[in-house]
């Protein structure tokens, strides 16, 4: 067994797409989307050169400090109970950290919280667990809904949905809502609705250029833009990514008008059908809140996704392997303040833009 950084990206991509823990965020395509980060791929190989495990690491310099952060989104990809392979990957990452002067290695693996064997392994490695978050405090969502679509027919899937969800899908069709797979030229309109959604629901939105870059790197093989139309107007849009045996609902946007014709339900159904047609085993609705109190502002998102009868899944959360405790403490404190400030600045600017320069009141957000 040997550990190295890999140059053969075709071999690596084949390994990822065949492995049950493969994830689009570990792919070379996603690294191109994140080209403002340096990317290094670590692999553990058998004596015959076959890959046993891997970890795609994104590396970014910390502002104002002569240190970098290493982040492996949804990594590693391997038998998660293979201690020796995991140790080899970690040891190689530690060597890489010396070259790049990294203060931490961050992971948020695709592993459920119930996996106590993996939990024991990461404790042996002295990872710092940050699994206390209940909403969207982490880099990736800790709570998701996942629908098992392996070998299921469309009829079986529809029948498994909650009655109200089936009703809303049919309502959209009866009301004349139509859907299509969009093109790159449709991204500006999708982004316009995305900004409207961000202002309404108070979350930060990526730039149009980011979505165009994502489309260029992943479409058409791995990414689709879905659009819903009502009376000739785009009223809803979604982005889905398909990689290996899974499909993820990555982004969704909806106009504040015509939400009563249920376009979001129809688009989810169209994405699920695509995933099934492509032979996927899992359709991942992505993030929901872990706080299931009906008074939680995010409860509506939970209720919407729950209606498709997927499994409410909690991952192990963020895991930090601290390489420099002093820098780690300073950056962690500053990062929380920065995220909250960024969210407030985005909301303020978006409101000004949407109101012709006059800041709207809470009741006039639209």
**DSSP string across 30-89:** HHHHTTTSEEEEEEEE-TTS-EEEEEEEEEEEPTTSS-EEEEETT--BS-TT-HHHHHHH
Residue 188's alpha-carbon distances to 35, 141, 225, 226, 233, in angstroms, are 22, 26, 12, 13, 14
Lowest-pLDDT range of 127-131, 215-219, 221-225: 127-131
Please give the average per-residue pLDDT across 178-198, as a whole number: 96
**pLDDT recorded at residue 359:** 29
Q: What is the domain partition of the chain in residue ranges?
A: 2-140+316-352, 143-314
pTM of the model: 0.89
- For Cα atoms 107, 110, 115, give the angle at the middle one, nearest 5 degrees: 100
Please give the average per-residue pLDDT across 301-312, as a whole number: 97
Please give the average per-residue pLDDT across 303-313, as a whole number: 97
Asked if residue 341 has pLDDT above 70, the reply is no
Gyration radius (Cα) of the chain, Å:
21
**For residues 303 and 301, what is the distance between their CA atoms, to the nearest angstrom?**
5
Q: Which residue has the higher pLDDT, 60 or 346?
A: 60
Tell me the per-residue pLDDT of 71-82, one tens digit each, with 9 for 90 and over.
999 999 999 999
CATH 3.40.630.30 is the classification of domain 2-140+316-352: yes
The two beta strands, 282-287 and 246-254, are parallel
Across the beta sheet with 68-72, what order do the strands follow? 2-5, 38-45, 51-61, 68-72, 102-107, 318-322, 128-130
Element (H, E) at 316: none
The two beta strands, 311-314 and 143-148, are antiparallel
Tell me the per-residue pLDDT of 257-295, one tens digit each, with 9 for 90 and over.
899 999 999 999 999 999 999 999 999 999 999 999 999
Asked if residue 2 has pLDDT above 90, the reply is no
Averaged pLDDT score across all residues of the chain: 90
Name, in order, each residue with C-beta under 8 angstroms of 225's C-beta and a sequence gap of 6 or more.
181, 182, 183, 186, 187, 190, 215, 219, 237, 238, 239
- For 328, the token pair is 């780690």
Distance of CA 282 to the CA centre of its chain: 14
Res. 84 pLDDT band, cuts 50 70 90: very high
- What's domain 143-314's architecture? 3-Layer(aba) Sandwich (3.40)
**pLDDT recorded at residue 365:** 24
**For residues 275 and 246, what is the distance between their CA atoms, to the nearest angstrom?**
7
**For residues 200 and 253, what is the distance between their CA atoms, to the nearest angstrom?**
11
Res. 64 pLDDT band, cuts 50 70 90: confident
**pLDDT recorded at residue 338:** 55
Asked if residue 366 has pLDDT above 70, the reply is no
Share of the chain above pLDDT 90, in %: 78
Phi, psi of 15 (to 5 degrees): -60, -45
**pLDDT recorded at residue 363:** 29
Res. 360 pLDDT band, cuts 50 70 90: very low
Tell me the per-residue pLDDT of 4-63, one tens digit each, with 9 for 90 and over.
677 689 999 999 999 999 999 999 999 999 999 999 999 999 989 899 999 999 999 998
SS3 336: helix
Asked if residue 354 has pLDDT above 60, the reply is no
**pLDDT recorded at residue 351:** 59
Q: Which residue has the tokens 């590396």?
A: 59
**For residues 62 and 107, what is the distance between their CA atoms, to the nearest angstrom?**
17
Measured on CA atoms in the order 126, 128, 134, 139, is the torsion positive or negative? negative
Tell me the per-residue pLDDT of 236-250, one tens digit each, with 9 for 90 and over.
999 999 999 999 999
Give the single-character DSSP code of 360.
P
Residues 352-361: contacts with CB within 8 Å, 24+ apart? 353/195, 354/195, 354/196, 354/199
Residue 51's alpha-carbon distances to 7, 32, 92, 261, in angstroms, are 13, 22, 15, 49
The yes-or-no answer to whether 2-140+316-352 and 143-314 have a common fold is: yes
**For residues 297 and 317, what is the distance between their CA atoms, to the nearest angstrom?**
22
Phi, psi of 80 (to 5 degrees): -70, -5
Half-sphere exposure of 228 (CA within 13 A, CB side): 31
């Amino acid at each position: 067994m040997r550990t190295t950084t890999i140059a053969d990206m075709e071999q690596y991509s084949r390994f990822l797409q065949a492995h049950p823990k493969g994830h689009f965020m570990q792919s070379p395509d996603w690294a191109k989307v994140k080209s403002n980060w340096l990317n290094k791929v670590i692999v553990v190989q058998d004596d015959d050169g076959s890959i046993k495990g891997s970890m795609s690491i994104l590396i970014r310099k910390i502002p104002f400090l002569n240190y970098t952060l290493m982040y492996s989104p949804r990594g590693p990809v391997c038998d998660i109970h293979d201690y020796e392979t995991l140790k080899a990957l970690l040891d190689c990452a530690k060597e890489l950290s010396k070259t790049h002067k990294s203060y931490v290695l961050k992971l948020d693996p695709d592993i459920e919280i119930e996996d106590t064997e993996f939990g024991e392994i990461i404790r042996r490695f002295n990872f710092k667990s940050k699994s206390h978050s209940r909403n969207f405090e982490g880099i990736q969502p800790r709570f998701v809904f996942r629908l098992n679509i392996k070998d299921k027919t469309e009829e079986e899937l529809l029948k498994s949905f909650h009655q109200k969800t089936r009703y809303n899908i049919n309502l959209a069709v009866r009301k004349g809502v139509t859907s299509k797979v969009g093109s790159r030229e449709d991204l500006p309109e999708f982004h316009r609705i995305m900004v409207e959604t961000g202002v309404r629901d108070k979350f930060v939105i990526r730039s149009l250029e980011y979505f165009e870059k994502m489309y260029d790197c992943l479409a058409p093989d791995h990414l689709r833009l879905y659009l819903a139309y009502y009376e000739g107007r785009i009223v809803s849009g979604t982005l889905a990514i398909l990689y290996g045996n899974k499909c993820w609902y990555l982004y969704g946007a909806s106009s504040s008008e015509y939400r009563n014709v249920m376009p979001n339900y129809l688009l989810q159904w169209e994405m699920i059908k695509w995933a099934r047609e492509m032979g996927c085993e899992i359709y991942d609705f992505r993030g929901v809140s872990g706080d299931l109190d009906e008074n939680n502002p995010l409860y509506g998102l939970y209720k919407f996704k729950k209606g498709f009868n997927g499994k409410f899944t909690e991952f192990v959360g963020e895991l930090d392997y601290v390489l420099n405790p002093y820098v780690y403490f300073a950056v962690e404190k500053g990062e929380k303040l920065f995220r909250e400030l960024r969210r407030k600045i985005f909301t303020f600017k978006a409101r000004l833009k949407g109101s012709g320069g006059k800041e709207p009141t809470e009741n006039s957000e639209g």
